[in-house]
Amino acid sequence: MTVSTAARTAQDLAAAAKDVLGVSRLTNHALTTWLHGLPGVDQVGCEARAASLGTRSIKTSAKAWAIDTAIGMIDLTTLEGSDTVGKVRSLCAKALVPDPLDPTTPRPAAVCVYGDMVATAKEALADSGIHVAAVATAFPSGRASVPVKLLDTRDAVKAGADEIDMVIDRGAFLSGDYLTVFNQIAEVKQACGDAHLKVIMETGELVTYDNVRRASYLSMLAGGDFIKTSTGKVSPAATLPVTLVMLEAVRDWRELTGVQVGVKPAGGIRTTKDAIKYLVMVNEIAGEDWLSPEWFRFGASSLLNDLLLQRQKLTTGAYSGPDYVTID
C-alpha cells in the first residue's frame, strides 16, 4: 500500500481553491457563497438511507472478504493521557501480529498515537509497512494558536509520522469564519510535507448534516487527503449517516475536480457488524474505488479484536471467546 500524496504549499492550495470556486480572490464571502450553495441534506432521508444500507445481509465468502478488508483498514489507536512507551510498543506488537493463532491474518493499516509517541511507534513498527499516524494541531480541541499547531505537526512529521490527523477549528467554522478554517488546513498540509493529512471535522460538534457536508468540502478544498469524522473524545463520534454524507462528498468531489479523497470514520465502531455496515456504504455510495486502506480507514481500538473473533469463527466454525484474542 502506498500513499502518494504530493507535498503542497498553502499558496498552491489557495490558487487551486480559487480555480474551483471560479474567483480571483479567496475571501470568506466567496467560500460562504460556495459552501452555502451546496445542496442541502434532508435529515430524515439521510438517516433512512443509512439505515436501509444497514440491512444488507453479508454472509459467507462476502463476510470473509469484508472482515479481512476491514482489518486492513484499521488505524489501531491509543490516544490517552495515560499512554506510555510500554503501552505503545504493546499496541505496535499487536499490529504486527494481530492473531498469533493465524499468521494469514492481515495487518491493520496504521497505528495512531499522540505526537510524542511517534518515535516509539516508528521504532517498534520499523519497516513493516504499517504506518504511524499522529494526531496533531492541539488535538482534540484544536484550541491553540496557529504557530503551536504547525509546530505540533512538524514535530510529529520530524519524528517519522507517515500520516497526520489534524482537527479543524470548530469555533471558527461555527462562527462562519470559513477562511480561517481553510487557511489552517492549508498551512498544516504544507507543514506535513510528504505525510498524508487527515482532517478531523469533529462532526459531533458540527451537529447538522448540512454542516458536515460543508466542512467536508472545505477540508477537501484546503488539501486534506482524508476527511475524518471524529476525535473519539466527543459524543456522538462516527455514525452511519454522517459517514454517508462524507462518502457522497468525496464521490462528488472526484467528479468535480478529478481528485480522490479518503474517508475515515473514527470512534464508536466496535463490532464486526458495524464495520460491515460501513463497508456496504462505501461500496454503494462512494463506489468500489474506495474499498482499500488507501481510501478508507476505521479509527478504532476494540474493533480489531471483534473482527479477529469473527474471523476465527469463520475459519473454525465455532466462537472462541475473548481470551482467544490478545489484548494489546
List residues with catalytic annotation: 165, 228, 264
Residue 90 CB, shortest distance to other proteins, in Å, is: 33
Residue 133 CB, shortest distance to other proteins, in Å, is: 24
Longest CA–CA span in the chain (Å) reads 63
Residue 209 CB, shortest distance to other proteins, in Å, is: 9
Residue 297 CB, shortest distance to other proteins, in Å, is: 16
Cβ closer to other proteins: 34 or 139?
34
Query: Using an 8 Å Cβ cutoff, are 26 and 220 in contact?
Result: no
Distance CA 232, CA 100 (A): 28
Cβ closer to other proteins: 139 or 209?
209
* Interacting residue ranges for other proteins, rule: CB under 8 A: 39-42, 44-46, 48-49, 55-63, 65-66, 69, 248, 279-280, 283-284, 288, 291
Query: Using an 8 Å Cβ cutoff, are 15 and 223 in contact?
Result: no
Cβ closer to other proteins: 61 or 104?
61
Cβ closer to other proteins: 46 or 188?
46
Distance CA 124, CA 260 (A): 31
